[in-house]
Structure 1
Amino acid sequence: MTDDILSRTTALDATHRALGATMTDFAGWSMPLRYGSERAEHVAVRTAAGLFDLSHMGEVTVSGPEAGAFLDHALVGHLSALAVGRARYTMICDAAGGILDDLIVYRLAEDRYLVVANAANAAAVLAALTARAADFDADVRDDRDAYALIAVQGPRAPEILGRLTDADLAGLRYYAGLPGTVADRPVMIARTGYTGEDGFELFCDPADAPALWAALTEAGRDDGLVPCGLACRDTLRLEAGMPLYGHELSLATTPYDAGLGRVVKLAKPGGFVGRAALAAAAERAAERPPRVLTGLVARGRRVPRAGFAVVDADGAVVGEVTSGAPSPTLGRPIAMAYVDPAYAAPGTEGVLVDVRGTHESYDVVALPFYQRRK
């Protein structure tokens, strides 16, 4: 596969354009930003269901007798301990402990895993995995062209998908996947997502994607299912307190900086890339945490954006906004920000954000802003 200068298109590109989607370039892909009102799409996912094209994500298959041991070495998680059929959120870091990307890894068989990377980092993740596999009996295969990925997310997602498959959806746990058929097409059904709602991600042959999209659209027609673009996916993940690479996560942050030290398995056997740096980061975080990733809820109506400074009453900078947007669920602007520990405790009132020269008041809250009822 070659990375072209022009935006690549997914197998559903014609479908999106026929639906009148506003298209945008995202990580080198032409993707639907919205189909109409992004607020209406957001609300549909919270109350009914939404349908997403996620085919821009990057898939890498790792297989072979030492596939598990290799991933233990290459990633911060303990992937050889993952049961077949389960998935795990993890990260790939450089030797200095900086985050190259956050990933979901599925164990498809005893000797086969599927690594799913963010679109913007897919090539870098593939290159890093390939380089790190040199001393292992494991094969790293670029499967970015082998899959289309469709997600159905929302409280009615199980009912909608259930009309098209005889797979045991009720028995499928969160962060698990199983092979099956949907609308008579072979897929891997994963109970994962990036919206804060229940839902499923369907890995399929790109040639089957238009038919699957059409079947899901028809199955959910009476349940309020709507097609959804990247804009509402961003506000959904923000409400759910889920980090986005390039905003909350970067090479300049370690998992401990992001409050995600739990994904780092320092005690796993054999060591791994970045272990020494991450052990030191864990010690620093225990002694005195760096800036803490926290939630901010606006008292007014002005929206904080990534890069805006968080300041104290004297105007001294005490943090920086990483993501911000109006929250359709809360009815007020919200943001995630890295702030000094003294300003990070939930309940702290009157923290200020410099919004284009005006200091606006925000209240500190615990993440996530929204959590679905289970």
Structure 2
Amino acid sequence: MSKTGKVFIRLAVAAAAVPVLFAVSLALPIPAWRTGRLPVPPLPVVENGPRIKAPDRVWVDTDAACGVERRADPDDCFALMLLARAPDIEIVGVSTVFGNAKLEMTDRTTRRLASKLREAGTRLPAVHRGAGAPSASSTPAQDALRRALADRPLTLVALGPLTNIAAALEGRPDLQANVVRIVAVMGRRPGHIFHPSEGNGEGMLFGHGPIFRDLNFDKDRKAATRVLSMGLPLSLIPYDVAREVSLKRFDLDQIARSGMAGAWIASRAQGWLEFWKEEIGRDGFHPFDLLAAAYVLDPYLFNCAAANAWVGKDEHLSNVWFYDPVALQVGGTKKHPADPLAETEAIYCVTANAALRDRLMDGLAGMDRQASTD
């Protein structure tokens, strides 16, 4: 055999060995593989704080796609229902954005849920169609949000990418001054890769399970960078705190008995529940966006830290070949990375009060839950 042929065979064997070695490494008892976390300095977490004023007027920007496909999470729908049912919150407007699915799907899903909530007597304003891609041109959602902010101050609940919000606020310091706070579902500590199975031994890949992205950030990084550069009051409700709560089949059954909207969402959540059972290895799912709605209603239920947030390269992951190291990261207030694309102060929530789960279920399951616990 020629020398070239031998080199080719060695390269082919090496290439075939890489996925095998990678799979074997997942089976090793390495804590960082199992949790997705690398050691970083702790944040100065404040129990039930730092304190913010619970808002009374909110705008909800959502990429709701519950039930569009098996892997489309129902969290936005739960979040919108929780806020719509809250007696002390006025939802001034709802806008749709791409993210969990294409805009056609997220817009249609949001309108169907809004219709069911209104039929049940819940107060809910018009739904405004937003951006279908990053850097989208002017949309009804952007125009409506500008009008609402020009009228009075608002808290913006961002359940998807920040595309609509960045477009509405950019170049408008007058409107930025009326943003009480942005509550966004994104952000992570340096070196953290999201492993929802966390090595419980039942998910795919030797119990390792699939890897989740910081989806809302990743779908439109430029929009997130632009919003951070505005220096607005910001609370980040990340994967970290979402893992404090799981919704299981029993919970969905209770929610389904709360009314037509609850039944509709619970039905469309079944595929997501099965995905978590079969591929992640858990009997319940973490309702990520739902916790942002809970934070808006009861911020004292969350243990959070005043932090420095920035968009930039994650040095902990710069050599991980399958992971893009650019991220929205959070560190202590004295942590200032070199050459960030954007940087600002933020509240970053890490854990939650034990009462959070009951608060969520009271809001989602309503009278049915009350009757079942008496």
Q: Is the helix fraction higher in 1 or 2?
A: 2
With CA pairs under 8 Å and 6+ residues apart, which has the higher RCO, 1 or 2? 2
TM-score between both structures, scaled by the size of structure 2: 0.29
TM-score between both structures, scaled by the size of structure 1: 0.29
Q: Is the strand fraction higher in 1 or 2?
A: 1
